[in-house]
Structure 1
Amino acid sequence: MSGDNARVIQLPPEALLPAAEVDAPPGLDDLPVRPGPFVGRTRELDCLDAVLTASGQVVVQAVAGLGGIGKSTLAAHWAATRARGHAPIRWISADSPAGVQQGLADLATALQPALAQALPLEALAERASQWLATHTGWLLILDNVNDPADIAPLLARATTGRILITSRLATAWHHATTVVRLDVLDPAESLDLLTRTLTAHGPRDLDGAADLCAELGHLPLAIEQVAAYLAQNPLTTPRAYLHLLSQYPADMYRQGAATTPAERTIARIWRLTLDRLTALQPLAADLLCVLAWYAPENIPATVLDGLAGPPALNHAIGLLNAYSMITADPASDTLAVHRLVQALARTPDPDDPHRTPAAIDQARNQAATQLSEACPAWNVPAAWPTWRTLLAHIDALTGHAAEATDTDTTANIHDHTGAFLDNQGQTARAISYFQRALTSRVRVLGADHPHTLSSRNNLAYAYRHAGDLGRAIELWERDLTHSVRVLGADHRGTLTSRLNLAGAYEEAGDLGRAIPLYEQNLAAMMRVLGADHPDTLTASSNLAGGYRSAGDLGRAIPLYEQNLAAMMRVLSADHPDTLTSRNNLADAYREAGDLGRAGPLFERNLEARLRVLGADHPDTLTSRNNLAGAYEAAGDLGRAIPLFEQTFEDRLRVLGANHPSTLTSRGNLAGAYEAAGDLGRAIPLFEQTFEDRLRVLGANHPDTLTSRGILAGAYLSAGDPDRAIPLNEETLEDRLRVLGADHPSTLTSRNNLAGAYQEAGDLGRAIPLFEQTLEDTVRVLGPHHPSTLSSRLNLAGAYEAAGDPGRAIPLYEQILADMTRVLGTGHPVTVEVRLMLAAAFASRDGGAEQP
């Protein structure tokens, strides 16, 4: 060299050898030191072992996966323990072209230290490339490759030896012999990793360790970071750390132990990836923050429709998938995101440009908008599979988002989800969604907004379906008051509120308040909407139902007949409301004992629903169930039982084992078996129905109480009053507490208990209960209600069984007069009562037959 500052370097002769003639001295391996235990990964290690180096060829393998998944740890462990015969083993941090160049220069220097003083960095890197191209047996680990272009020149020249690549990129290694896609640890392995680190210096309190691993999504880096933190904080247990994580997520995600490099924390690793993604496609980072609010797996790609134009959206999804931030499954058209990535992306951090509080709020609201637009109609069976897919993501959004952040959009999601769940018989879950929707709408829109009134109405319906009529009535009374004040007495919303309240009164057995409301509503609808308006026709049907509940079939049946004729004229013979009206009339005929008119209507309705709605529609299944019931009432069990069996099987398949309609079908089938005298098949079905309702609906639901009473009746039919009586006593006690003393179902329970006492021969307890039941039924339902007639008949039978025909005969006479007036002289029940009266006369008169 020349010049004033020239420096003369004297190289030894061996430094001037061609690269092909330079042998690698021993001790050139430079694997990084990886402190801490290594667990699991047997399959992945075996996969790296499986590729044998063919003579004269380079073997390229890639380990790909999410940042923090353990790619570098796996590569280092494999190279240190299983890279048989490879020398030298060199580790290059290949996250940039400069990093690759520096790693090659370091290899050249390690091979010939004297060159470090003689050649610039570029020449040293070139010297190493020449050496790799002319030697075999070496192993080169290119760690954390961000861009395949950064290592392309090296791969093109290094044609022998073995190269192992680690990268977050999962889809760029088409030339690699093997690509190992690294996933999280399994639960046992992640717990082992945490436990080994935490107990390295002595025993520790491990309470909550498994839960903590699950919360961290079994991500190795997260487990290591948390274990190091806990190791240096001996007073903090895994359970306590979970609490800290829930209270201060942003702080905990970026904190490791004192010795944890800042760049190795979870938050820092993923921020670097998001920086790169944002530079390539800004939408990618925004999209990840939206996906963070859903469940981690099986996210339908269609949820993202409309978020951006298809080219930009596809590019963003592709980048996230390529960098292992999400996993795309083309077979199911779904996406998955690691739960810890989601948790971090949902956590605001003012120091992270991707996670500012404003960005988090925007992503959450966008996630809600996307879900809202993806939700189909809740009452269309064809849409139910979509709902079942979306439910997990609606649950996740609802659980992650604080109630105070809810908007009208989220309230809309909650309302529609509640309606779907209620329709599916998951009433408890429905109530929680309706409650959240109502709370949000009161806060966002005010108590008097129409959407708020709608939410209150929905919640009341769910309470009613859950059997909590007390809360349902309270809400509907409040809703009606609001509607009258805000909308006016004749507004359609007010009329609907009044109708709902009347229905709740009817179900609670308070017909004295229900029927006047039905009558008031019908008059108002005829005045406001006209006699032929569909809502008016519905109000007419509801009033007929009120009359029927009151036992007044004389007013109910003509009104049902009139309603059906109007429905057919206004809406058509096959309209769903017409089919409902025909069903109601058929059921009223059945209750009146007019099976000759009931059966054909049920048959016609089933045929129409099969044709219009299809065999699997819930309304079609209801029609088949009702027709089976009509056949059973007519004593035609040969036709009833196969229909009940088919309906039960179809509901099990279409609606699921826990749907209330499925449970009803099982109970109906059991009742038909009982009617056929087949208690061996009936009782197990009754028992299963009761157990399922207890589990699904709860101990206090009216259907559960009904099931217990029916099961008690079956035990009694089987001659087992010892099992029947405790069940009847329990049912009466529960109905008194849940429904009140005057509810028709409570009166039924008291009657059933009296019957069980009579069957057991305990007339001393039976007769007072029958007397009390008759007195209450006359007071609550009236002297001519069917339940009143049944109570009078039961009391007469008890008097006769007690040898007191003198008190039985007047009751039989009164019942016969009522039955003749209501059902006619030829009705089977009327005929049966006439025979009972004759037997009572015979008993009183010593066998003399009465006319």
Structure 2
Amino acid sequence: MIGRRKRGDQSGSIPPSTVPGPSVTAAGARSVATADGLGLVMTGDGAVGTQVAHAVVLPAEACASPSSVVCPAGLSNLVDRVSLFVGREEELGQLDVALADPGNVVVQAVHGLGGVGKSTLAARWAATRTSMHNPVWWITADSPAALDAGLAGLAAALQPALTDVLGQEALRERAVQWLAAHHGWLLVLDDLAEPADIKALLARATTGRFLITSRRATGWHGIAKPVALGVLDPSEAVDLFTQILTHDGLRVSDGADEVCAELGYLPLAVEQAAAYCAETGTSPRGYLDLLAQYPAELYAGTAEGGDPRRTIARIWHVTLDRLADDPLTGQILRTLAWYASDDIPRTLLHHLAEPPALQRAIGRLAAHSMLTFDADTGDLSVHRLVQALARTAAPRDPHRELQSIEQARSLAIATLSDAFPADTQAPASWPISRVLLPHVEALTSHAQSLPDVDTASLLERMGLFLHGQGAVDRAIAPLHRALTSCSWVLGEDHPYTLASRNNLAGAYESAGDLGRAVPLYERTLADQVRVLGGDHPDTLSSRNNLAGAYESAGDLGQAIPLYGRTLNDCVRVLGEDHPYTLASRNNLAGAYESAGDLG
């Protein structure tokens, strides 16, 4: 459709998606795109607007100020991460002292090695102090997308009626405004990748408590009070190992202390080793014998808290050997490795096997602590280190062969591409898009090798969704990558490449970067005239887009003639009553109005 405010979409989108297009909306607030076509909204005294076919009617709750929204008593989304918890009394005491500071915002960051138990410590502290805070809200913050999704989830929990009617960016903003206006809340930001990612949030939400976990040991100056978390004391590690085995009714024989020492007292490794012994009936000394069969370099430094990937890699290999009678378990891990670490819908695995076999394999992996699942939603979580190993090829490791990893990557891309909605503008699709967005972001960040059309399609739809949700700055990078991939794989003149260039130009224009938007629009129009012809709908759309960019830049001398030509071509090609023609006439009228030519 031709219009002025949804110029981002065009037909000829990248398969297998069908990106709406051509889509170019009318200037200013004068037109809006709807599910059935274009509705014109005229402003000014006495103006009469045309009827919009479909509109989202906001409930009364959306009009309430966030400061007036009362949090339900005991609001919390904490999951049970602390059923088996040992030691850490000193660290818990440090958090008590720090987070009891009578000042305004208090930010405490727990950092340390992967698998050292940062999340467990934070969950323990938060779960045992829920009476002191409301709400207590847990957010996975390993990417900006995940952080925004967590904040949007808080807003939805505070006002459920807004879930399906506000975009993610609006929900996120509402959550931040609520936090800024209330006291007594606690936000746990888990696995924060970069301290800088939360500076803007901390600057606005200054009346509550933040508890952060991160692998980053540096970069906290001026942001948070850091607490370094080391490995468990030997007695605590043995206690943890023993609790897991006795929980399953097994008697612990000699060798538990040796296993813990071999694993460097790293909590995650201790838990996985104990889970393996409990699941398979292997004794601690038998477990040590299995570990002895692997290269000596995998043991280097573990007792002193060395690289946790080596320890995790060893456990991962041993566990997968035991599960080798069911190859599906390895396929599941290699596929999950490409998504975000938490809240992975099981539907993203449905191509792997029939439901009974799939559920059985997931259950076995959970029993070996290779993944966890939410008892209510069924969503899966996999530790980031396990994911990193599962998508990294290793020589002489049958579970990490390059061909198997590449196959898993291709399947992950295809499955996510099928699941991510093609119509990024339809409100009904937003909840699904929000759930899948962190996984698209993770997959496309991991898949940085040779470009391909399927990945480009996901990048394009992610960028269009973010653009439509108002997150323009975040939309530009995936749209740029999509264009680069299309140009490389399909060529500069392919219709998908031309559509992708138009979409990137639209994002730049929305971001106010007309210095980049205008040249892209000009090049797209010239190429579409040459490749598709001057009367092709995409060409008409591009000409309208360029005229709109000229108008946004204040260059009415170029905008008005271009709008006029577009209108004439629409009348000639499509007819007087076509929606594109009506929108084009409206755009030209708006440009005359901007020029002061009310005649």
CA pair 552-166 structure 1, distance change in 2 beyond 3 A: farther
1:328 aligned partner = 373
Of residues 405, 415, 433, the one that matches 1:370 is: 415
CA pair 79-475 structure 1, distance change in 2 beyond 3 A: closer
- Residue 74 of structure 1: CA displacement? 5.6
Q: Which amino acid aligns with 2:254?
A: W
SS at match of 2:395: coil
Of residues 268, 277, 299, the one that matches 1:145 is: 277
Q: Flag structure 1 segments of 5+ consecutive residues without an equivalent.
A: 1-40, 47-65, 82-87, 94-140, 152-162, 168-221, 232-240, 242-251, 255-264, 555-851
Of residues 413, 422, 436, the one that matches 1:390 is: 436
- Residue 67 of structure 1: CA displacement? 11
1:848 aligned partner = none
CA contact (8 A) 1:457 1:497 kept: yes
Q: Which amino acid aligns with 2:387?
A: Q
1:91 aligned partner = 254
CA pair 309-540 structure 1, distance change in 2 beyond 3 A: farther
- The CA deviation string for residues 409-461 of structure 1, in whole angstroms up to 9 with x for no partner, is 11111111111111222111111111111111111111111111111111100
Of residues 501, 506, 522, the one that matches 1:477 is: 522
1:551 aligned partner = 596
Q: Is residue 412 of structure 1 aligned with residue 457 of structure 2?
A: yes
2:363 aligned partner = 318
Q: Which amino acid aligns with 1:91?
A: D
Q: Is residue 490 of structure 1 aligned with residue 513 of structure 2?
A: no
Larger relative contact order (Cα-Cα within 8 Å, sequence gap ≥ 6): 2
- Residue 549 of structure 1: CA displacement? 1.8
SS at match of 2:380: strand
2:499 aligned partner = 454
1:660 aligned partner = none
Of residues 493, 504, 509, the one that matches 1:464 is: 509
1:298 aligned partner = 343
CA contact (8 A) 1:502 1:515 kept: yes
Q: Which amino acid aligns with 2:317?
A: R
Give the distance between the partners of 2:284 and 2:253, measured in 1 at CA.
10
2:323 aligned partner = 277
Number of positions where the alignment pairs a residue of Structure 1 with one of Structure 2: 346
Of residues 302, 314, 321, the one that matches 1:268 is: 314
CA contact (8 A) 1:288 1:345 kept: yes
- Residue 469 of structure 1: CA displacement? 0.9
SS at match of 1:459: helix
SS at match of 2:373: strand
Aligned pairs (5 A) from 1:697-708: none
CA contact (8 A) 1:67 1:270 kept: no
1:440 aligned partner = 485
Q: Identity of paired residues, percent?
A: 50
- The CA deviation string for residues 285-319 of structure 1, in whole angstroms up to 9 with x for no partner, is 11111111111111122333334332332222222
Comparing 425-434 with 522-531, greater Cα deviation is found at 522-531
TM-score by length of 1: 0.37
Q: Is residue 346 of structure 1 aligned with residue 391 of structure 2?
A: yes
- Residue 362 of structure 1: CA displacement? 1.7
Q: Which amino acid aligns with 1:543?
A: L
Q: Which amino acid aligns with 2:404?
A: A
- Residue 45 of structure 1: CA displacement? 4.8
CA pair 166-372 structure 1, distance change in 2 beyond 3 A: farther
Give the distance between the partners of 2:503 and 2:242, measured in 1 at CA.
64
Q: Which amino acid aligns with 2:324?
A: T
Of residues 317, 332, 341, the one that matches 1:287 is: 332
CA pair 142-291 structure 1, distance change in 2 beyond 3 A: closer
Give the distance between the partners of 1:485 and 1:226, measured in 2 at CA.
63
Q: Flag structure 2 segments of 5+ consecutive residues without an equivalent.
A: 1-81, 88-113, 118-230, 244-250, 257-272, 288-296
Q: Which amino acid aligns with 1:388?
A: R
Give the distance between the partners of 2:511 and 2:505, measured in 1 at CA.
10
Give the distance between the partners of 1:535 and 1:353, measured in 2 at CA.
58
SS at match of 2:509: helix
- The CA deviation string for residues 789-835 of structure 1, in whole angstroms up to 9 with x for no partner, is xxxxxxxxxxxxxxxxxxxxxxxxxxxxxxxxxxxxxxxxxxxxxxx
CA RMSD of aligned residues (A): 3.9
CA contact (8 A) 2:312 2:385 kept: no
CA contact (8 A) 1:142 1:165 kept: no
CA contact (8 A) 2:279 2:367 kept: no
1:501 aligned partner = 546
CA pair 89-511 structure 1, distance change in 2 beyond 3 A: closer
Give the distance between the partners of 1:435 and 1:297, measured in 2 at CA.
27
Q: Is residue 527 of structure 1 aligned with residue 576 of structure 2?
A: no
- Residue 498 of structure 1: CA displacement? 0.8
CA contact (8 A) 2:392 2:400 kept: yes
Give the distance between the partners of 2:497 and 2:483, measured in 1 at CA.
6
CA pair 165-495 structure 1, distance change in 2 beyond 3 A: farther
- Residue 470 of structure 1: CA displacement? 1.5
- The CA deviation string for residues 198-246 of structure 1, in whole angstroms up to 9 with x for no partner, is xxxxxxxxxxxxxxxxxxxxxxxx9985555888xxxxxxxxx8xxxxx
CA contact (8 A) 2:340 2:442 kept: yes
1:424 aligned partner = 469
Aligned pairs (5 A) from 1:556-567: none
CA pair 397-225 structure 1, distance change in 2 beyond 3 A: farther
- Residue 91 of structure 1: CA displacement? 2.2
2:425 aligned partner = 379
- The CA deviation string for residues 504-548 of structure 1, in whole angstroms up to 9 with x for no partner, is 011111111111111111221222222222222222222222222
- Residue 68 of structure 1: CA displacement? 10
Give the distance between the partners of 2:275 and 2:537, measured in 1 at CA.
69
Give the distance between the partners of 1:370 and 1:80, measured in 2 at CA.
40
Q: Which has the larger radius of gyration?
A: 1
- The CA deviation string for residues 241-299 of structure 1, in whole angstroms up to 9 with x for no partner, is 8xxxxxxxxxx955xxxxxxxxxx432321121122231x2122111111111111111
Give the distance between the partners of 2:368 and 2:302, measured in 1 at CA.
26
